Chain A
Amino acid sequence: MEEVGLLINGIYLKVPQGYTLLQAAQQLGVDIPTLCYHPELPSEGNCRLCVVEIGEHPRTRLVNSCTYPVEPGLNVQTHSEKVLQARRITLELLLARAPKAKLIQELAAEMGIHESRFKSEDPYELCILCGLCVRTCREIVGVSAISMANRTPGKLVTTPFLEPSDACIGCGSCAFVCPTEVIPYIEKDGKRIIWGREFELVRCNICGNYIAPMAQLEHWAKLTGEPVEHYFVCRDCR
């Protein structure tokens, strides 16, 4: 594969073409804070925490390192004063949006921010709109049961029309990937509740232990082409 040479914090390194600045920095061992980046998911650049400064001195600009591809000879600064200033403001805005989120509080405290100058709309908000859950549902699970709705002031992650969605298979991957643990996911007495929909868990035909919701078994059957009855027996009894 063709390689591209670039400078990160004055250190020259070569990375394969198609890498993003964030991947190149991680390969070098430079720590760039991010909230919405996940190596298994396509980057969208929602959180704006991974900004870096690129270009030569008088004409530098800030770009998202998780979406900007490497260029030959590019000069990147990951912790310059301009970058740190931008990150601090982003964190203050995030802290105003989700003041109770532990992850944001910790990140902000690391940068020396303990309270935000901006007004908080909802003091109990936890969602930071990173979009990891939406991308997980679309790319990893492949059902697209949740999406972003509305424009900025009222933007939220939800199922279509705020109603329990038929597309959801109740796998809980969105709750797993959520960095601020805002998606309620309860499993109790053979019932699983997520996104307002209640899933009855199927019991194994042989041992009687719970396997998964019916919707998920149907999804597996559709993917593999096997009859759905094939999955009514748990993996230990199969």
Chain B
Amino acid sequence: MSKLVITSIGPASSVQDGGRPGSQRYGLVPSGAMDRLALAAANTLVGNELFAAAVEIGPFGAAFTARGGAVRIALSGASRNADIAGRPVAIDTSATLADGETLTLGFARSGSFSYLAIEGGIAGEPDFGSLAVNARAGLGSPYPRPLQSGDELQTKPASGAPERRIEQPATAEAPIRIVWGPQDDEFGDDAKKLFIDSEWKISATSDRMGYRLEGSVIKHLHGHNIVSDGTVNGSLQVPGNGQPIVLMPDRGTTGGYPKIATVISADFGRFAQTSAGRVFRFKAVSMAEAQAAARRFWELLRSLPDRLRSIESFDLNIDALQDANVAGYAVSAVDATTWQVASPADVSGPD
């Protein structure tokens, strides 16, 4: 058995997979990866199931050391410097650590979360069919909490398969698309127009439960309390202070603030990757357009195995050089206060 030993890791890093849907009626949220496309791409590179468990790595750096044998890995999601014993590793490629070698990851440069998939998966005991960490519910395996230095992830020895890269569509800088509702009638037309016309940023007080938005103050028509109802990933709830909170995969299953809109499922991962402090906008689309986008997103997921390419040293060097050049001056917009324990989505309690 090979294993990856975590030699250093920042907050907001945990084992995540496709999550555990099916028990929201009992208050258990599915959790799972913030960016499912990146999770699926990383897994595809090493021949795993699309939504197999991988390490979701937050905006900070991390290091992993192979023990007991070689370990084959792949990285996708947020771009960052990566190397194995000094050999550069590009995002969206696979690579192999020989026994004793260390994979070192820098801070996220664009995006927030990278996914480290491990060939053969992460050994663990699933609960409700998932290894995803949900610390509040005491769920997750092999550790029911975010990862810490010294943790070990057991896996299979590297197969020796040739390394691959994966071609993904270019990341759009387009606005984040929403559909109105379910409670947009709690807001006037002027408030909805302000929501769409405003520039927004993700606040530093954000986490896997909720992203707090900074921008305009969105006023309610009838006050900010509604009778609790169900939430989804991407619910845009507006609490009393008028600063919207977007609910993320560790959200409460129900909530008592009016929800003006919902991020469409095809854009949710892209939204989750928005770094703290970066300016973005929302765009309202019809249900038909949102559902067409959901179908295209599903087609993209299905097409991932067809997007694998062999690595020629040329590709690798260009990517790595670009990464190194950018890293020379780019600094992540996040700081250590960003991924904190108490969640803004959490402070109000049950409704």
A and B interact physically: no
